[in-house]
Structure 1
């Protein structure tokens, strides 16, 4: 066992433990945060009625200095959507267009805070940088720990199970290594996909995985295509797809840009298929099914689904939560080992 590797592992863990704990704890809590948000808001299930949703959009905009900028699925209970207004407010509706919430509930604010902590520690770009660096170091720290445990001279290679003859600190250290070795491979996938997600735009640029940009469409026709008409056109263009979100037309950009969930995508709710519909004449400007994406784009699209477990369905998301608990216990065990070691040194100096 390399003493230098062990020292590097120990000091990296001590310096970044607080950031790793923040990531693990918030990650565990937000794995099912969309469902939790919707469970907190009562409302009987209503199947999606595009015409009714369109009427609600018109009602919110009629005679008011307000515009519905976008529509997003809530991703919690089925057939619920957010209408994002130009005033910054959010309106939550059922599938039949009826409003069940005019502004964010306290539960939503709570989960929003957890999501922001997970993404940027509540300090914007500085927090994103810290998260990126700590994620990279956690990834390599797991590799170092694996090497310490399973290298030719590693403790687990020599003795898989802690000996009763070892002192209590030695048994705890041995168990720390053994417990860490149990799930280090899936943990590396979890952390690695999270790091790549943090630098998603850079990864996409390097791989050439950027989606084609839509040019402005301001004067193509004289009519007005309604939300329901445009949504029906978009969803028909990718059979079996579900509405994920839509950016509504503006005076500068007279088109609807739909984001759809195509059958077979790894994503659970927020698909990566796109259809753009001209708001003047209803023609399809562009169509981009996820199933026809090049490998580079499919790889980048898969990162989120892998990181949060959606690639494995419900069991995958549960596994990711359990894996988060494993990481939490591992970090706590490491901190306990450091505390015991430090206390022993202090006691030695006193004597």
Structure 2
């Protein structure tokens, strides 16, 4: 039985190792992507003044004729910065300007998702979550996660120490030849973080299939019915809409603002309450009509259990749900997966050089 497990673990690892290493590397780089990208843009933190941010939006529309407002999003780093997103005249793409809390533009010229640091991190995100393959990629990611968990379980079965040998197993040894040293390190490091790694990967599998799980659990979409809302003329400004939303959740921070459209004649104010498991972009929503009246709200902390479960999968996978220590653990687990993969390949090469399969 042990010989079968050894072969299964070895060949499953060799088949999937390149894919798992890419997932681990992109995951490590994405843990602190918001802070890293924001740190690359100079400028002191300013108190948030949404009236000033609204004036920055108006100036950008004036300086870019034909461009139309799309949305505004917090940078996500906690530095009181926002991205003002405008659509190009042909509607083919959108670009953004990053501003501080006082409405001061921090980046010269529009930044698209296909340029600079934004492009780098957006590419990593698409690779990590979809492999650039959309829904098919999500299913491949989920399947690879299940295979990885299975492989870790097989490895634990083989590496589990005998009674009274736990401390020795957890401490790498440098005795013996190269293969013996590599095996000792591979086993010890594997035992250190195998269980938290399996949990984090399992949350990643769930996050990849969040839409499908939500459908199975009967999770319904939010938002007012457009047919029941009449657009007011003239429409209120975004600062007035934000002022209508914030008193409902006084401790919340602004995550994003969606502007009224013909199909959806309301502002969508996205907030993040302190108790929400996500760090950057909250799930609290307030829909404000163009006449300034609140049409509907969504409090994720009071949502049905099924919805709370599906929305917990992403922050649990990234570690955000468990605070700074959780994010740090996610980063370390990514490094752990990289190390385990590299050690495993090195062990196979050393074995192969000795003429063993």
User: So what's the TM-score if we normalise by structure 1?
Assistant: 0.89
1:237 aligns with 2:273: no
Unpaired stretches in structure 1, ≥5 consecutive residues: none
- Is the CA contact 2:138–2:209 (under 8 Å) kept in the aligned structure 1? no
| 2:126 match | 116
Question: Which of 185-194 and 76-85 deviates more?
Answer: 76-85
- Is the CA contact 1:148–1:155 (under 8 Å) kept in the aligned structure 2? no
Deviation of 1:222 after TM superposition, in Å, equals 3.7
Name the CA shift for 1:156/1:325 in 2 (closer, same or farther; >3 Å).
farther
Name the CA shift for 1:151/1:144 in 2 (closer, same or farther; >3 Å).
farther
Deviation of 1:172 after TM superposition, in Å, equals 2.8
In 2, Cα distance between equivalents of 1:162 and 1:54? 58
Question: Which of 159-168 and 108-117 deviates more?
Answer: 159-168
CA RMSD of aligned residues (A): 2.6
Given the alignment, which residue of 183, 186, 199 partners 2:193? 183
| 1:342 match | 352
- Is the CA contact 1:19–1:131 (under 8 Å) kept in the aligned structure 2? no
CA offset digits 1:24-79 (Å, max 9, x no partner): 11111111111111111112222111111122222333482221111111112511
| 1:274 match | 285
In 2, Cα distance between equivalents of 1:126 and 1:211? 23
Deviation of 1:340 after TM superposition, in Å, equals 1.6
Residue correspondence of structure 1 range 130-145 to structure 2 within 5 A = 130-145=140-155
Residue correspondence of structure 1 range 90-101 to structure 2 within 5 A = 90-101=96-107
Deviation of 1:312 after TM superposition, in Å, equals 2.5
In 1, Cα distance between equivalents of 2:49 and 2:225? 30
CA offset digits 1:182-230 (Å, max 9, x no partner): 1111101111111111111011112223333432155254441110011
- Is the CA contact 2:5–2:158 (under 8 Å) kept in the aligned structure 1? yes
Name the CA shift for 1:183/1:163 in 2 (closer, same or farther; >3 Å).
closer
- Is the CA contact 1:150–1:156 (under 8 Å) kept in the aligned structure 2? no
Given the alignment, which residue of 239, 245, 252 partners 2:263? 252
Residue correspondence of structure 1 range 1-351 to structure 2 within 5 A = 2-62=2-62, 64-87=65-88, 88-101=94-107, 102-104=109-111, 106-150=116-160, 160=169, 168-216=178-226, 219-279=230-290, 281-345=291-355
Deviation of 1:278 after TM superposition, in Å, equals 0.8
User: So what's the TM-score if we normalise by structure 2?
Assistant: 0.88
Report the 3-state secondary structure (helix = DSSP H, G, I; strand = E; otherwise coil) of the residue aligned with 2:46.
coil
Report the 3-state secondary structure (helix = DSSP H, G, I; strand = E; otherwise coil) of the residue aligned with 1:57.
helix
In 2, Cα distance between equivalents of 1:267 and 1:163? 40
Question: Which of 6-15 and 102-111 deviates more?
Answer: 102-111
Deviation of 1:123 after TM superposition, in Å, equals 4.5
CA offset digits 1:297-342 (Å, max 9, x no partner): 2222222221112122222212221121111111111111111222
In 2, Cα distance between equivalents of 1:164 and 1:239? 58
- Is the CA contact 1:24–1:328 (under 8 Å) kept in the aligned structure 2? yes
In 2, Cα distance between equivalents of 1:157 and 1:2? 19
Deviation of 1:151 after TM superposition, in Å, equals 8.2
Deviation of 1:175 after TM superposition, in Å, equals 3.3
Question: Which of 42-51 and 195-204 deviates more?
Answer: 42-51
After the TM superposition, which segments of 4 or more aligned residues of structure 1 sit over 4 Å from their partners? 123-126, 154-159, 161-168
Unpaired stretches in structure 2, ≥5 consecutive residues: 89-93
How many residue pairs are counted as aligned between the two chains? 345
